[in-house]
Amino acid sequence: MGVWKAFSDGLREGLQNSSRDDSGNSEDLAASAKPGPSKLPLERQTSAFAPEEPAQKSALNPRQKNNTIVLSVFAVIAVILLIAFVVHIYNKEKVGRSENPTAQKAALALLQTIPVRGLDPTTGYSRYQFGPPWTDDVDVEGGHNGCDTRNDILRRDLSDVVTVNNCKVLSGVLHDPYTGKDVPFNREEGTDVLVQVDHVVPLLDAWETGAQQWDPPKRVRFANDPLNLLAVSGKANRKKKSSDVSTWLPSNKDFRCDYVTRVVDVKAKYGLWMTQSEHDAASRVLTKCSSQTLPSSGVLPSSGVLPSSGVLPSSGVLPSSGVLPSEGTLFPSPSGSLGYRN
């Protein structure tokens, strides 16, 4: 009896436990079988019913917007500076070049009108035969404007110019036509001595080719005429001295046609003559220049506006240029010639 009772109690307890397990499972199965929204994992339920994030978290905040704008501005500036640098390098290498050979053809024709004869003696020459250096009291473009000729030319030919009273040049940069290089000009730093104003047709050369017969006012006009003046490297100007086209040409080959054209224009304007060697050298240069299409470039800044005098006439603007033939190499000044320094 005791054994049977123990067996009965154990069986009854086992059935009760089984009933509880089946009941729980059946409820889960029944619940899963009922129609309705499917249960989602806890994290998915949370995200599905979570409130929307504030709008400012999905967009850029004001500080981020400002940073984006600043970066965009810097990017644009960088592109502009890069373009400017490339253009600057190109123009630096191509100073004085253009693609219009008409000026050289005209100069070649004008050359044929210039007399050819030997040099007059240098007897009696001095700088003061051509008046006070850089006087403003002269009847040429830029004369009587309250500013001396040298500063007129510096202001015309330099870039990034800083002046006092729109006259005296304190600083700037010369894109030197004779060498093709940039030359700094700054009075405070002492680099102003690196730039000189050159007489394209030197005063001594003019004295030897007709200027001895001029009256003083004409000599003063010649010495201060913007057509015959260029701001250039002082070093190149010292090498040139008083040489003519047959014995000196700019080392910058891109400017040689311009240079010879300018010499012809000046000599024709003032009735000066050439020696046979200078005439032949000029003819060789201009023949080569006028027979080709010259590469394009920006205009040398020699056509600027002079205060109280208006824009320089066409004779004061550099014509086009080109490349010199092989004969036009750089030669030293003639032995015994008088050097002229501005």
Arithmetic mean of pLDDT over the chain: 75
DSSP-derived 3-state class of residue 163: strand
Q: Hey, what are 310's tokens?
A: 């208006």
Measured CA distances, 242 to 204, 315, 328, 333 (Å): 6, 22, 17, 7
DSSP of 170-188, one letter per residue? EEEEEE-TTTS-EEEEETT
- Count the neighbouring beta carbons within 10 Å of the beta carbon of residue 210: 17
Q: Could you tell me if 173 and 160 are in contact, meaning their C-beta atoms sit under 8 angstroms apart?
A: yes
Position 325 in a domain? no
- pTM for the full model? 0.61
Note the pLDDT tens digit of each residue in 167-203. 999 999 999 999 999 999 999 999 999 999 999 999 9
Q: What is the rounded distance in angstroms from the CA atom of residue 91 to the CA atom of residue 332?
A: 29
DSSP-derived 3-state class of residue 306: strand
Q: Tell me the pLDDT band of 7, cut-offs 50, 70 and 90.
A: low
Position 32 in a domain? no
Position 326 in a domain? no
Q: Give the contacts of 107 (CB within 8 A, at least 6 positions apart).
A: 260, 261, 264, 265, 286, 319
Q: Tell me the pLDDT band of 96, cut-offs 50, 70 and 90.
A: very low
Amino acid at 101: P
Q: Could you tell me if 116 and 274 are in contact, meaning their C-beta atoms sit under 8 angstroms apart?
A: yes
222: exposed, middle or buried (Cβ count in 10 Å: 0-12, 13-18, 19+)? buried
Position 306 in a domain? yes
Q: Hey, what are 189's tokens?
A: 């730093």
Helix (H) or strand (E) holding 22: helix 2-33
Distance of CA 134 to the CA centre of its chain: 29
Position 286 in a domain? yes
Number of domains the chain contains: 1
Measured CA distances, 75 to 182, 300, 324, 328 (Å): 28, 31, 43, 47
Position 200 in a domain? yes
Q: Tell me the pLDDT band of 60, cut-offs 50, 70 and 90.
A: low
Q: What was the pLDDT predicted at 73?
A: 74
Position 224 in a domain? yes
Q: Where are the alpha helices (DSSP H) in 243-308?
A: 256-270, 276-290
Q: What was the pLDDT predicted at 322?
A: 35
Q: What is the rounded distance in angstroms from the CA atom of residue 133 to the CA atom of residue 220?
A: 9
Distance of CA 262 to the CA centre of its chain: 24
Note the pLDDT tens digit of each residue in 106-165. 999 999 999 999 999 999 999 999 999 999 999 999 999 999 999 999 999 999 999 999
DSSP-derived 3-state class of residue 114: coil
Domain housing 279:
80-316
Q: What is the rounded distance in angstroms from the CA atom of residue 247 to the CA atom of residue 260?
A: 12
Position 120 in a domain? yes
Q: Hey, what are 211's tokens?
A: 């200027």
Q: Which of 253, 81, 74, 230 is nearest to 152 (CA)?
A: 230
